[in-house]
Amino acid sequence: MTSPSQPLALAPANQRSALLIVTILFFMWGLLTSLNDVLIPHLKAVYTLSYVQAMLVQFCFFGAYFVVSLPAGALIRRIGYQRGAVTGLLMAAGGCALFYPAAQTGYGLFLFAFFVLAAGITVLQVAANPYVTVLGDAATASSRLTLTQAFNSLGTTVGPALGGLLILSGAALGDGDRASEAAAVQGPYLMLAAALLVLALLFAAARLPAIVHADAAAGAADKPLLSHGHLVLGALGIFLYVGGEVSIGSFLVNYMGDARIAGLAPADAAHYVSYYWGGAMVGRFVGFAVMRRVSPGLILAFNALCVMVLVSAAVFGSGPAAMWALLAVGLFNSIMFPTIFSMALHGLGARTGQASGVLCMAIVGGAIVPFVQGFMADHAGLQISFLVPAACYAFIFFFGLKYAGLFQAGELEGA
């Protein structure tokens, strides 16, 4: 069956090569995003911040998605997916480079550096996510995006361990010298800036197939974009999912440092954060196969229900059991973003890029939900504050059930 979001015919070998190259992008922005979970407790200690003040990191980082997504969508329509990815890589490299002067200036420049870095990642997201969904058979778009997101999770798994080793260990924290503690980020982020520049050069030189959408489905091009119900609900699902996932990751180091939970030092806790993101990586490889046989909507609803149970155990429990319950959330987060994203985009044809911009705007949930949880943590306690992300997953449970019958395994029908 021909899909409106399917590209013009490309040789399978070209599709595989292009998919492999784009997968590198997913790995890189996963690593950069998960490093925030290490930097938040680091900067909180360096600048003696409250939880709300520390969450300004995520507010600036994910707020960039809201500000930049629609302009990024317009840019990509103008210059194409490949040049858009190169532009995003260069912007992200500039954001990483800003961490060097930020360490000498103060928290305000750190926040601006996070915004610039995230602006670059936003351009990458707007280019790469729809590129993957149309780079092959529409019937397997959800599983294909899940596979590439698995390598995104590999990046998020490596990030906290790397950050814990390079930023939180040794004299980085607790020696009382604010300048040296802040400077611990300079070397790692300069290396990341250099890696992004090299990657931009490689992408500029790569020969990727151009994606040209077929005609949109009958009537789809004439309808207002937000009249597509599955897109609107999918955008809300992305908002709440990213908000919940990021919020849990942002507070993990402090949660595991609580004497009632594990009493871990920040550097030790950072290694456990890798289990949270590593679980998502494992779950995405499993989901890549399972969603070819089971309705993506049913899997989405099941995983959301499991997360609500696990978070409740972390809120009302204590000790190692509560810690591992919260870390296990990552396993069930695995398929949520790619599944919601591909379900929301299905059937939009030539408007896929524009719709992708809307969905990437919804990633601003990663700015809002951690801020709300931070407020609750300051006023009601850190452990009880995890009820905030738990509430986010309740909507994802609803979204999965709503479309379970419309999006069948291996064949996503228009909503």
Q: What is the pLDDT of residue 74?
A: 84
**pLDDT tens digits for 107-126?**
999 999 999 999 999 998 88
Q: What is the pLDDT of residue 174?
A: 47
Q: What is the pLDDT of residue 365?
A: 94
Predicted TM-score (pTM) above 0.85: no
- Residue 209's Cβ-count burial label (10 Å; 0-12, 13-18, 19+) is middle
**pLDDT tens digits for 136-176?**
666 666 667 767 777 887 888 888 888 888 787 654 444 55
Question: What span, in angstroms and rounded, lies between the C-alpha atoms of 26 and 344?
Answer: 20
Q: What is the pLDDT of residue 10?
A: 47
Q: Which CATH superfamily is domain 12-212+220-412 in?
A: MFS general substrate transporter like domains (1.20.1250.20)
Q: State which residues of the chain have pLDDT below 70.
A: 1-15, 130, 133-143, 146, 169-178, 209-222, 349-350, 353, 405-415
- Residue 88's Cβ-count burial label (10 Å; 0-12, 13-18, 19+) is buried
Question: What span, in angstroms and rounded, lies between the C-alpha atoms of 18 and 209?
Answer: 7
Q: What is the pLDDT of residue 384?
A: 97
Question: What span, in angstroms and rounded, lies between the C-alpha atoms of 119 and 103?
Answer: 20
180 CB neighbour count, 10 Å cutoff: 13
Domain ranges in the chain are 12-212+220-412
Q: Which residues of 22-43 are buried (b: 16+ CB within 10 A; e: fewer)?
A: bbbbbbbbbbbbbbbbbbbbbb
